[in-house]
C-alpha cells in the first residue's frame, strides 16, 4: 500500500489540533469518513467552472455537467461491477436507497400478510423503512436472531422462509458489531426459495471489494460519505428485472417521458427513480472518491484495516474490565469495534476521550433493537479507515487507561 504518511497528507483535516493541544485521532469512520483533497477539489472545480443543470440543456455547460454526472454513474457501475448504468440509481444515501426499495418493491410485490426477513443487527434504516410499509400495507417483519457472539446462525434460516416471504434485507457488515455477514450464502439460500435480497452495504463498500454480480444480490445500497465522498449522495444498485417492474419513488422532473393532466409516462431506468435535479456535483465527488479508493487499492485497504482491527482487539483486551462486542475472529470482524470498560458509562468514556483529542462514537449507533439484544443501553465505538495507524490505537488505549484511573 502507498505509505501511510502519503495517504494521510491527502486528508488536510488530519493535521488539525483538537483543543489546541492534541493532534486529531479520528476513530469515528463508521459514522462518516474524512475527505481527501481530490474529492473537495473536483467539486470546487465543478462549481467554479462547469456548473449548470444536467440533462435538459442544449448549451455547452449543461452538456459538460451532464457528461460529468453520467460519467460518475459509469464509475459507480465499474466500482460495483454492475452490468449496466441502468442499474445505478443515485439517491441521497443508504437510508434513501432502502426506503426506496421498501416503498416501491413493497407497492409492486407485497400485500397484507407478506413477509420481509431482516436480522437482529440491522441499522434503524433497515428496520423502520419496513415498519412504515407494515403500517401502510400490513406486511410482517421476520427477524433472524444473532448468537451471543454477534453472528448469524444460518442453521435455522430455512424455517424463516415460507410462501409469504417476498424479500430479505440484510446488512453486509454490522455498524455496531463489525460482523461481516455471509451474504453470498444468504443470497443463495434466498434465491433457492425464489426470494430476492437487498444488501445494506453502508459498512462494507469502504473496507473491501464488492462485486454485485458475484454476490448475485438483487439490490445493493451504500452512502458516499462513508467511503471518502461527499454527504447527500448514495447509490441504489438494482437488477433491471426488478427496477423495471417497480413504480417510481417520487414524481417530478427527470423521471417522466410525457406528462398531461390525463396521463403521465415514466422515463427509462435509472431516471424513473431520480425525480428532480440530482446532486450532480456530489456525484462528481463520489466518483472521485471511488477512483481514489481504487487507486489506493481495496485489497491493500482491507489488509491494512484487518491489521489495525486485530491490533486494536489485542491492545484493548489488555485493559482491565474491557468487553469487546462482536466476533473475536478478525476474518469475519470488520474495522468497527464496540466496547465497554467496566462500569464506566459510554458517554463519560467518549466525552473524556474527546478531551484527549480522540474522536469515537457513543450511544446506540442507530441500532436500538441490537442494544436490547446485547443488554446494554449503548457502547463506545472505534472505527477505522485507510488513514488510521497503530499509533492512534496506542493513543486510544492509553487514553482509556488514563480515564480508568479517574473512576
Q: Segment contacting ligand PLP (CB under 6 A): 39-47, 54-62, 199-207, 303-311?
A: 199-207
* Cβ proximity to ligand PLP, 33 vs 94, nearer residue: 94
Size of the site for ligand PLP (CB under 6 A): 12
205 binds ligand PLP (CB under 6 A): no
Smallest gap from residue 94 Cβ to ligand PLP (A): 4
Q: At what angle do helices 60-80 and 280-296 cross, to 10 degrees?
A: 40
Closest listed residue to residue 96, CA positions, set 273, 281, 245, 285 = 273
At 393, which helix (H) or strand (E)?
helix 390-406
CB 322 within 8 A of CB 339: yes
Q: Identify whether 270 is preceded by a cis peptide bond (ω within 30 of 0).
A: yes
CB 32 within 8 A of CB 226: yes
Q: Segment contacting ligand PLP (CB under 6 A): 78-86, 88-96, 373-381, 388-396?
A: 88-96
91 binds ligand PLP (CB under 6 A): no
Query: For the chain, give me the number of helices (H) and strands (E)?
Result: 13, 17
- Cell 472545480 locates to 45
| Cα 305 to Cα 335: distance, rounded to the nearest angstrom | 6
* Cβ proximity to ligand PLP, 129 vs 267, nearer residue: 129
203 binds ligand PLP (CB under 6 A): yes
CB 195 within 8 A of CB 162: no
CB 173 within 8 A of CB 179: yes
* Cβ proximity to ligand PLP, 290 vs 395, nearer residue: 290
95 binds ligand PLP (CB under 6 A): yes
- Per the residue annotation, which of 38, 104, 217, 366 is the catalytic one? 366
The answer to whether residue 104 is catalytic is no
Q: Segment contacting ligand PLP (CB under 6 A): 70-78, 131-139, 200-208, 264-272?
A: 200-208
223 binds ligand PLP (CB under 6 A): yes
171 binds ligand PLP (CB under 6 A): yes
Those residues whose C-beta lies under 8 Å from the C-beta of residue 324, and which sit 6 or more positions away, are 313, 316, 317, 337, 338, 339
Strands 358-359 and 25-26: parallel
Q: Write the binding mask 362 to 391 for ligand PLP: x where contact by CB under 6 A, - elsewhere.
A: ----x-------------------------
| Cα 130 to Cα 106: distance, rounded to the nearest angstrom | 9
Smallest gap from residue 222 Cβ to ligand PLP (A): 8
CB 184 within 8 A of CB 192: no
* Cβ proximity to ligand PLP, 206 vs 270, nearer residue: 206
87 binds ligand PLP (CB under 6 A): no
73 binds ligand PLP (CB under 6 A): no
29 binds ligand PLP (CB under 6 A): no
From residue 107, how far is each of 104, 276, 372 by CA, in Å? 5, 21, 31
Quick one: which of 86, 94, 205, 362 contacts ligand PLP (CB under 6 A)? 94
Q: Segment contacting ligand PLP (CB under 6 A): 41-49, 140-148, 197-205, 211-219?
A: 197-205
309 binds ligand PLP (CB under 6 A): no
| Cα 305 to Cα 386: distance, rounded to the nearest angstrom | 7
Smallest gap from residue 368 Cβ to ligand PLP (A): 13
200 binds ligand PLP (CB under 6 A): yes
CB 160 within 8 A of CB 170: no
Smallest gap from residue 226 Cβ to ligand PLP (A): 6
Q: Which of residues 112-131 bind ligand PLP (CB under 6 A)?
A: 123, 125
| Cα 325 to Cα 338: distance, rounded to the nearest angstrom | 6
Interface residues toward ligand PLP, by CB under 6 A: 93-95, 123, 125, 171, 175, 200, 202-203, 223, 366
Q: Which residues are known catalytic residues?
A: 366
Amino acid at each position: 500500500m502507498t505509505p501511510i504518511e502519503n495517504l494521510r497528507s491527502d486528508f488536510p483535516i488530519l493535521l488539525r489540533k483538537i483543543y489546541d493541544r492534541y493532534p486529531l485521532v479520528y476513530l469515528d469512520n463508521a459514522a462518516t469518513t474524512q475527505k481527501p483533497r481530490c474529492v473537495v477539489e473536483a467539486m470546487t472545480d465543478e462549481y467554479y467552472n462547469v456548473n449548470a443543470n444536467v440533462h435538459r440543456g442544449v448549451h455547452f455547460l449543461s452538456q459538460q455537467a451532464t457528461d460529468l454526472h453520467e460519467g460518475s454513474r459509469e464509475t459507480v457501475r465499474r466500482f460495483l461491477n454492475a452490468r449496466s448504468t441502468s442499474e445505478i440509481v443515485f439517491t441521497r444515501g443508504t437510508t434513501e436507497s432502502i426506503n426506496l426499495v421498501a416503498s416501491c418493491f413493497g407497492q409492486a410485490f407485497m400485500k397484507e400478510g407478506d413477509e420481509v426477513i431482516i436480522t437482529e443487527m440491522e441499522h434503524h434504516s433497515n428496520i423502520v423503512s419496513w415498519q412504515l410499509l407494515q403500517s401502510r400495507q400490513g406486511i410482517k417483519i421476520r427477524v433472524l436472531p444473532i448468537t451471543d457472539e454477534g453472528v448469524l446462525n444460518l442453521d435455522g434460516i430455512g424455517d424463516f422462509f415460507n410462501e409469504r416471504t417476498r424479500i430479505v434485507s440484510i446488512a453486509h457488515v454490522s455498524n455496531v458489531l463489525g460482523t461481516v455477514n455471509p451474504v453470498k450464502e444468504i443470497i443463495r439460500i434466498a434465491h433457492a426459495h425464489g426470494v430476492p435480497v437487498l444488501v445494506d452495504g453502508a459498512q462494507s463498500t469502504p473496507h473491501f471489494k464488492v462485486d454485485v454480480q458475484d454476490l448475485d444480490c438483487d439490490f445493493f445500497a451504500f452512502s458516499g460519505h462513508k467511503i471518502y465522498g461527499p454527504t447527500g449522495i448514495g447509490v441504489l444498485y438494482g437488477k433491471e428485472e426488478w427496477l423495471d417492474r417497480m413504480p417510481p419513488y417520487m414524481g417530478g422532473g427527470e423521471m417522466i417521458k410525457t406528462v398531461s393532466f390525463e396521463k403521465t409516462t415514466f422515463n427509462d431506468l435509472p431516471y424513473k427513480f431520480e425525480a428532480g435535479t440530482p446532486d450532480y456535483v456530489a456525484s462528481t465527488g463520489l466518483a472521485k472518491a471511488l477512483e481514489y479508493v481504487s487507486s489506493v487499492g481495496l485489497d491493500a485497504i482491507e489488509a491494512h484495516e484487518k491489521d489495525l482491527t486485530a491490533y486494536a482487539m489485542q491492545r484493548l483486551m489488555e485493559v482491565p474490565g474491557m468487553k469487546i462486542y462482536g466476533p473475536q475472529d478478525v476474518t469475519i470482524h470488520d474495522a468497527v469495534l464496540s466496547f465497554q470498560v467496566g462500569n464506566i458509562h459510554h458517554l463519560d468514556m467518549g466525552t473524556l476521550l474527546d478531551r484527549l483529542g480522540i474522536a469515537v462514537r457513543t450511544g446506540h449507533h442507530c441500532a436500538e433493537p441490537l442494544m436490547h439484544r446485547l443488554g446494554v443501553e449503548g457502547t463506545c465505538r472505534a472505527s477505522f479507515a485507510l488513514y488510521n495507524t497503530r499509533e492512534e490505537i496506542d493513543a486510544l488505549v492509553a487514553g482509556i487507561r488514563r480515564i480508568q484511573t479517574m473512576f
